[in-house]
Structure 1
Amino acid sequence: MRSAFVDNARAAPAELTSEQIEKGQAMLKDLDLETGYDEAAIKSYDIFKQLRDEGVVEKHVKFQVSMPTIANVIGILIEEKFRPLVEPVYEEALFKSLQRIQDAIPHQDLAIQIDLGMDMAYWENKVFQPWFADRAHVVDYIAKMISQIRPAVDLGLHYCYGDMNHQHFTEPTSLGPIVDLHQHIMKRSQRSIEWIHCPVPLSAMDQLDSFYAPLSILDPQLVQNKTKLYLGLVHPHDVEGTQARISAAGRVVQEFGVATECGWGRIPDREDIDSIMDICRRVSRDHRDRRTEEYADYGYKLAR
């Protein structure tokens, strides 16, 4: 039932006999699936609390749990013929983990981020083949997952193009597809979305204005909904490039925070981490220290 895994590419489907398919179907009927997300999050929260009590983590900082949608497991780890069958089983297990996390961690301490990677591939119909015919299903299952997040818990969405071996499954040429998908999600969501994060790859450097342009449509809606925008424009050892990406974004959107392009889990060495943190401090400090009236010249301000 488990498929082969290939970095940034669709794995060739296995040739399965009818007997193998029937066996897999029987397994799913009796399967009591656990994702493990809840166990890991609750253990991590205990460490978080200890660090907060020791003053290592500041009191106002929330504990973030990042969880991928069903597509990011089913779409790459399950054989194609089984994906429609696995979807309801895995979704139930995923939602059970979400509820356990929210039962165990005080809501005022908790922030949940939904990670959207394969979802972008399906939305753009690039590289990977979904198990469903209509891309509207992407919005359906994301909206369903959002509905599992309780109102007092902060919610964010991380739009992603993958990071296997520090490569994307496709290089985005603009933020248009992300803007398009997020507008569909906003129409379906019954609760607030506190932030969204969008990647800004190095490949966009020669076309920053056109890359950011779609945000001009989304930005007023984010402001109206009180959703914070974070742009993943910080790349290690690239202060000048980061500043250029900030300046270009400031010509399009009113206000945004800065972040790395993706998570830090695959950052190869300490030097890159030190560089990222130094750049974040530097660009935030540069603009935070300016007089209030000078912000108007840039059209943005950075997250503290």
Structure 2
Amino acid sequence: MVRDAHLVGSVNQATAEATFRAAAGALGALAPRLPDGEVGERFHWMLFQGKRLEATPGLVRVDMDPILHEGFDLRPLILDGTVEAAELQVPALGYAEAALESYAVFARLKAEGVIPEATRFQVCLPSPLAPVTSFVAASLRAAVLPAYEAALIREVEAISAAIPADQLAIQIDLATEFGYIEGVSMGGGALEPFFAAEGASPQQIAAAAAALALPLAASVPAGVQLGFHLCYGDVGEKHFVEPMTAGHLATVAQALSDGAGRPVDWIHLPVPIERDDAAYFAPLARLTLQEGTRLFLGAVHHEDGVDGARRRLAAAAPALAEAGITEFGVGTECGFGRGPAERTEPLMRLHAEVIAGA
């Protein structure tokens, strides 16, 4: 049975209020959580974190011409010799500041009856691995990662201290992890999994990559919902590599479920548009998620609408049934903040149409 819609995070609207109003109007109670659309500097996922890391005493950009993407400088950071890696203190990352600003809007709209009473405010954070991989020189990633992880945990603490637990949901996004697992180049040569043993198999790399997200997950207080969005990237509405099957997704999802040490409220998995075959979904049959975890499949694509989503869900059903998953939800495979703004509300309504017709 298909129940619930999940918005991954980014939505191409100018403000948080516009996002909340569009989502509440299109989905109502079908969406148990609403993100703010990752507006402002967060529009391109975590690329704004380069400036935050650059502000860390002891880190400096490599002396070369800027490497610009959508206005963000991707030059790697190195130690400048003034601070040891173990002593780095990364400043505020901006996530808590944005969350508190958006929650004030969320709370007002809920009080006005625009947002359903049971809906929670969803805050989306990257795993520590993603910004460190994107902005720190490869030789220093292992050394810098603990400092960035500590900064992210401080963001969670600030968010949780200011927003009531029964109103809050925190999602951790894992995308860069699949670049390591698949052994692809992210612009600077094939990623070397510094966090796994030399010669580790893709399955071992997947488990080790998932483990890196667990301290952040453990910092989410009791009463606050926790979820994970697994992703193969979204640049120009394309994955950095197309997964052959959902096998690595299943491995990471299982490792997160087993290792979280607390309830996991949802896990979202992408579904490529062309995969409406049982072979893609077969690895999901081995999932043994926690009781109460809602699985969301990113089967909704604007290109082929309800019919395409139904084909993909039908192909997934046998594997899910074997795993004992009889109820699940739907979403897009990634956020849609970098698509055209006029697509936003029709795409949100498409979620409701898929649920109604499934």
TM-score, structure 2 normalization = 0.70
Q: Describe the shift of the 1:25–1:203 C-alpha distance in structure 2 as closer, same or farther (beyond 3 A).
A: farther
Whether contact under 8 Å (1:38, 1:97) holds in the other structure is: yes
Name the counterpart of 1:281: 352
State the shift of 1:169 in Å: 1.1
Name the counterpart of 1:70: 128
State the shift of 1:264 in Å: 2.3
Say whether 1:217 aligns with 2:290: no
Q: Map of 1:56-135 to 2, 5 A cutoff?
A: 56-127=114-185, 128-134=191-197, 135=205
Name the counterpart of 2:316: 249
Q: Kindly provide the amino acid, as one letter, of the partner of residue 349 in structure 2.
A: D
Whether contact under 8 Å (2:245, 2:281) holds in the other structure is: yes
Q: Kindly provide the amino acid, as one letter, of the partner of residue 218 in structure 2.
A: S
Q: Describe the shift of the 1:140–1:273 C-alpha distance in structure 2 as closer, same or farther (beyond 3 A).
A: same
CA shift digits 1:41-82 (9 cap, x unpaired): 111100101111111111111000010111110001222233
Whether contact under 8 Å (1:33, 1:89) holds in the other structure is: no
State the shift of 1:260 in Å: 0.7
CA shift digits 1:171-218 (9 cap, x unpaired): 11211101112222233221010110000011324xx21011111111
Matched residues, percent identical?
Answer: 34
SS in 2 for 1:213: helix
| Structure 1 Cα separation of the partners of residues 335 and 132 of structure 2 | 21
Whether contact under 8 Å (1:5, 1:77) holds in the other structure is: no
| Structure 1 Cα separation of the partners of residues 238 and 82 of structure 2 | 33
Q: Describe the shift of the 1:154–1:144 C-alpha distance in structure 2 as closer, same or farther (beyond 3 A).
A: same
Moved more, 134-143 or 232-241: 134-143
Structure 1: segments with no counterpart, 5+ residues: 288-304
Whether contact under 8 Å (2:85, 2:143) holds in the other structure is: no
Q: Describe the shift of the 1:28–1:190 C-alpha distance in structure 2 as closer, same or farther (beyond 3 A).
A: closer
How many correspondences in the alignment? 274
| Structure 2 Cα separation of the partners of residues 88 and 251 of structure 1 | 41
State the shift of 1:108 in Å: 0.2
Whether contact under 8 Å (2:297, 2:331) holds in the other structure is: yes
Say whether 1:268 aligns with 2:340: yes
SS in 2 for 1:214: helix
Name the counterpart of 1:297: none
State the shift of 1:13 in Å: 8.8
Equivalent in 215, 222, 226 of residue 151 of structure 1: 222
| Structure 1 Cα separation of the partners of residues 211 and 311 of structure 2 | 37
Q: Kindly provide the amino acid, as one letter, of the partner of residue 337 in structure 2.
A: G
Equivalent in 301, 317, 325 of residue 235 of structure 1: 301
| Structure 2 Cα separation of the partners of residues 264 and 82 of structure 1 | 32
Whether contact under 8 Å (2:175, 2:233) holds in the other structure is: yes
Structure 2: segments with no counterpart, 5+ residues: 1-59, 186-190, 198-204, 321-325
Q: Map of 1:12-51 to 2, 5 A cutoff?
A: 21-23=79-81, 25=83, 29=87, 31-51=89-109
